[in-house]
Structure 1
Amino acid sequence: MVKYLVGSCIFFLSVCGVLGETCEKPEITASAYVTEDATILTNVAFTTQFTLKCSNGVKDISLYAECEGKSLPAVRLSTDNKYQVSWTEDVKKVRSGDYSVKLYDEESYAALRKTMRNGENPEAVKPLAVVTLNNPGVYQGPWINSELLAVVLAVVVSYAAFSAKAKLSA
């Protein structure tokens, strides 16, 4: 019985120690992808992958993200602190420019959710780090469809031909 209690206490303390660690002086190395051709799509995909390095050597922490008012999970890709955050946005709502993806650990994310629940300013909670994702813009096709351009040119050429024929007949 004593062995069981000692083992349980050691397990509990080790779990609390792991969960209680926070990343100090985080360094982020990130890459991003944004769907650029939306001629036949209804949603644009945003994806950022990043590596998190902590000065105190903390690894494998749970991260959460917030971008443009959306709460998103940060998925751990591997054991060497690689993460990914992805989401989609309606083509009509997407803007070009920089998107700030704010990253939070469990403690700061809980504080963020609490401020949002209480109707307070979420900017008061400092994120662990911020990843900037640039959207150069989404191509939605040419301004004038080729079919419309062909019809307009056919009408102009026909009008010019009939006008020239009328002048020759007169």
Structure 2
Amino acid sequence: MNVYLLISISFSFLLTVYAQQCQNAQIVSTSYTTQDATVLKHIAYISNFQVKCKKGDPGNLYALLGDVITPVASVGAGKYQISWTEDVKIARTGDIVVPIFNESGYVAAKKILRTGEDITTVPTFTKIVINHPGIYAGPWISCEFLAVGFSVAIAYVAIHFRSKLLN
């Protein structure tokens, strides 16, 4: 009798877990990156995305940033955020693809990272694309250099016309 009870509890638990998984997910994402490197030493990458499941719930999500898996912040019902910074000298430009894993993908990805195998074999929940167009490092010619140049030009013109008037 106890065996049948154990089997029915296990079966109902599996059905409950399977029913809660997100099916037919629709993801809408927006991203932001800092672009001013004249004052900043790090570039911030931020992506907000919303997950709408036709059935179930996405649960906890995890992002692969480089070779580290980090939890994705939940900022509301079905709303998530990923953020990190990189030094200006090594900041990537263009489209940055961030793989997102659900719980089962997270477990498989951690196992793959531990063994040193190729992480691209792990199925992802989704992939978020963040576009970073590049950084602005300031004008080609500094304002101080332009001020010195204009001062020298004005002084030359003034001295030249003064010498013409005195002659």
Instruction: Tell me the TM-score normalised to structure 2 length.
Output: 0.77
Question: Residues 70 and 155 of structure 1: is their aligned pair in 2 closer, same or farther, counting only changes over 3 Å?
Answer: farther
Larger deviation, residues 151-160 vs 24-33: 151-160
For each residue in 1:122-148, what CA deviation from the matched residue of structure 2 results, as whole angstroms up to 9, or x when unmatched? 111121101111112222211221102
Note the residue ranges of structure 1 that are not aligned, 5 or more in a row: 1-5
Query: 2:21–2:58: 8 Å Cα contact kept in structure 1?
Result: no
Question: Residues 163 and 70 of structure 1: is their aligned pair in 2 closer, same or farther, counting only changes over 3 Å?
Answer: farther
Is 1:150 matched with 2:164?
Answer: no
Equivalent of residue 121 in structure 1, options 104, 118, 122? 118
Equivalent of residue 76 in structure 1, options 74, 90, 99? 74
Q: Which residue of 1 aligns with 2:26?
A: 27
Note the residue ranges of structure 2 that are not aligned, 5 or more in a row: none
Question: Residues 20 and 104 of structure 1: is their aligned pair in 2 closer, same or farther, counting only changes over 3 Å?
Answer: farther
Is 1:97 matched with 2:94?
Answer: yes
Q: How many residues align?
A: 159
Query: 1:99–1:133: 8 Å Cα contact kept in structure 2?
Result: yes
How big is the alpha-carbon RMSD for the aligned residues of Structure 1 and Structure 2? 3.0
Using the TM superposition, give the Cα deviation of residue 85 of structure 1 relative to its aligned residue in structure 2, in angstroms.
Answer: 0.8
Using the TM superposition, give the Cα deviation of residue 166 of structure 1 relative to its aligned residue in structure 2, in angstroms.
Answer: 8.5
Question: Residues 149 and 95 of structure 1: is their aligned pair in 2 closer, same or farther, counting only changes over 3 Å?
Answer: farther
- What residue identity is the alignment partner of 1:130? K
Question: Residues 119 and 20 of structure 1: is their aligned pair in 2 closer, same or farther, counting only changes over 3 Å?
Answer: farther
Using the TM superposition, give the Cα deviation of residue 28 of structure 1 relative to its aligned residue in structure 2, in angstroms.
Answer: 0.6
Using the TM superposition, give the Cα deviation of residue 70 of structure 1 relative to its aligned residue in structure 2, in angstroms.
Answer: 3.9
Q: Which residue of 2 aligns with 1:3?
A: none
- Give the fraction of aligned pairs with identical amino acids, expressed as a percent: 36
Residue aligned with 1:147, SS: helix
Whole-angstrom CA distance in 2 between matches of 1:60 and 1:126: 15
Residue aligned with 1:92, SS: helix
Whole-angstrom CA distance in 2 between matches of 1:18 and 1:140: 51
